[in-house]
Structure 1
């Protein structure tokens, strides 16, 4: 694509990055076939190709309007288009640049500003979010359906293992997962413990930075990323830990790209790159263990399935942040089959469920339609339950599902606990 960026942007880091990405796009349109919002709305400007053109116009100095902002807002940043694109266009990085610049040029209505500020303040403040979630769970049965849907039901939570191992990994001290679904982190540690690995949480770490960054508060997101680098680096530098294991793929894709986000910060660039290199999704890490180790877990899982203590026939929803963001495809599914689960076929498994971080709050109609479509495809194979690998997808799907929705590691941990 031929580009002529305006003087105010062309020599900036954002301008140079955007121009490189724009020049790779050949406007072939393959991306429209796999874009969830284009499939629903049928508007070219609600497709990756259309949004790329809007961003190109903006960076070339053309007028930016509220309409431009709305079309960019409707993007899920699922990055399905990146998987489809034959030219390797890094659309996710481009949309981050475009959304930030359009927000700087087009003032948002007061209600939108308040909503976005509230999401950033609530979701990334552990004390505030934890308090709200605890109170919500206490009165969950009395709440209106719309509010109740945002508060996951109580589930089996295993005890955190007390055994020590020479092999250690870092787990993220996430912002919403510990309060929304407190079973996932201890379940992860139980499975790691069974593999001879100790899961460690560094108290000084926190939100990965994705929430603020994708709400166009780039500076706030970068500060959270730097805080995590500072918290984790002593353990990494000393060689005490061998990996950072992410059990929320939305956080995982962000930490995996710390090297990109902090490339222009001299004090952090090298450290962030090393952290990105050491980051793995939980499914990847489990799959990388010896075949013997996995097969030692399988009999317990199969016994629990046979005893009907856990579901054996499940539909797996691979989060966009796992399959398109991290490019990890089929790995979790293979682990689950190895352990004894039967996976039902899911049509259009590449499409987004509509959660997409704060998207379900900011774009509720589109999000609800995507959830409806996703649940229909997941239920088509008559599974006993639905599994996924990201806190956002889990909470989103659970609010509309007629069967149980869990992180896959929860069922494995429950089987081992028996």
Structure 2
């Protein structure tokens, strides 16, 4: 796709990068076949190919309009199109540039600006936990679009878990050590995921450390068009992690939030043009893995540490693959295969499993109607999948690998939704 930059953007490095990336698109349209919003809305401009044309037009000098902005906003950045694309187009990078340039030219309505500001400033704030508790109290008074994004008290972990298990961090030291990113939202919404990860790794002789001064991975700001502060968060994390890496004590940087993991794996690309940070960021990206990527190598040791070897006493697990894991990081089968090797019954959707649940970071807040339609469609498929065969005596549990997907799916089902690492933790032999 040839793009001739307008005179106003000739010297804009962002536009130059987008122009280069656009050249690999052959506008075949294969991407539309797997785009969730195109499938829902049937509008060419709400599919990847149409959005690329809109960005191309703006780069070439066409007026950016509110309609342009809305079509770009409706993209989930699920990267399903990138998995499908035969030409390897870096669609999300082009989209980020397009959104940023359009936002500079089109002023958003006041309510939108406020919501986006609250998301940028609030999700990484140390006051988030307090805000969640207040939100649970005030939930009945909130608009429906906001209510579903705040877990009810019965959806939140039990009080006993909050006070006990969720904060029971292993204290044993091991020769093998990894860094664990706690995340912004996860400690407030599902604190047990982090401690469960640490306990599972501890069970196989791996110690989890948390770097001092590590904050938000930067994903929220980067995808909301605030690249300056987003990159500042990226640099802050590089600075915080680097001494651990330089010392040689760390094997890996481990992520249990696939959205964060995808972003950290891109640090090398994001800071490639900064001499001080380029090599450090690239090293950090190379050392970063989702915890599911470690799982296959841990299966032999975990098998010795699990109780209830009879699969009948375990729940049937129904797998939802986060887009950031399967499309962004290319991790497609590690969880399902490993859990089956450990004796769990795992069902997966081989037809619609590539589709987004509608969480997509902040999408469920900014595009609530589309988000809910996508969530309900995924849950219908997952429930139908689970209904195939006799009901298990221990019930069904939906499992995933991203806090956004877990919270979003839980808002639409009575079945428990957990991170897969919590299920392993639940079946560990104590001690």
**In the alignment, which of 359, 362, 367 is matched to residue 358 of structure 1?**
362
Report the count of equivalent residues: 410
Task: Return the TM-score normalized by structure 2.
Answer: 0.91
Alpha-carbon offset, residue 403 of structure 1: 0.7
The residue number in structure 2 matching 1:381 is 385
C-alpha separation between the residues in 1 aligned to 2:353 and 2:61?
39
> For 1:170-207, what per-residue CA distance to the aligned partner results, in whole angstroms no more than 9, with x for missing partners?
11131110011010000000110011100111131011
- 2:357 counterpart SS class: coil
**In the alignment, which of 175, 197, 200 is matched to residue 166 of structure 1?**
175
Matches within 5 A, 1:14-413: 14-125=14-125, 127-136=126-135, 139=137, 147=147, 150-151=150-151, 152-155=155-158, 156=161, 157-158=165-166, 159-289=168-298, 292-297=300-305, 299-300=306-307, 302=309, 305-306=311-312, 308=313, 310-311=314-315, 313-346=316-349, 347-382=351-386, 384-413=396-425
The 8 Å contact of residues 134 and 179 in structure 1, kept in 2 or not, is answered as: no
The 8 Å contact of residues 37 and 46 in structure 1, kept in 2 or not, is answered as: yes
Task: Return the TM-score normalized by structure 1.
Answer: 0.94
The 8 Å contact of residues 320 and 348 in structure 2, kept in 1 or not, is answered as: no
Structure 1 segments unaligned to the other structure (5+ residues): none
Structure 2 segments unaligned to the other structure (5+ residues): 388-395
Alpha-carbon offset, residue 111 of structure 1: 1.1
- 1:87 counterpart SS class: coil
The 8 Å contact of residues 301 and 412 in structure 1, kept in 2 or not, is answered as: no
The 8 Å contact of residues 149 and 364 in structure 2, kept in 1 or not, is answered as: no
C-alpha separation between the residues in 1 aligned to 2:5 and 2:219?
28
Deviates further, 84-93 or 12-21: 12-21
C-alpha separation between the residues in 2 aligned to 1:50 and 1:355?
22
C-alpha separation between the residues in 1 aligned to 2:124 and 2:216?
6
> For 1:33-85, what per-residue CA distance to the aligned partner results, in whole angstroms no more than 9, with x for missing partners?
00000000000000000000000011111111111000000000000000000
Distance 1:194 1:387, change over 3 A: same
C-alpha separation between the residues in 1 aligned to 2:76 and 2:181?
24
C-alpha separation between the residues in 1 aligned to 2:81 and 2:290?
21
C-alpha separation between the residues in 2 aligned to 1:134 and 1:141?
10
Distance 1:82 1:154, change over 3 A: same
The 8 Å contact of residues 69 and 103 in structure 1, kept in 2 or not, is answered as: yes
Distance 1:385 1:73, change over 3 A: same
C-alpha separation between the residues in 2 aligned to 1:108 and 1:10?
26
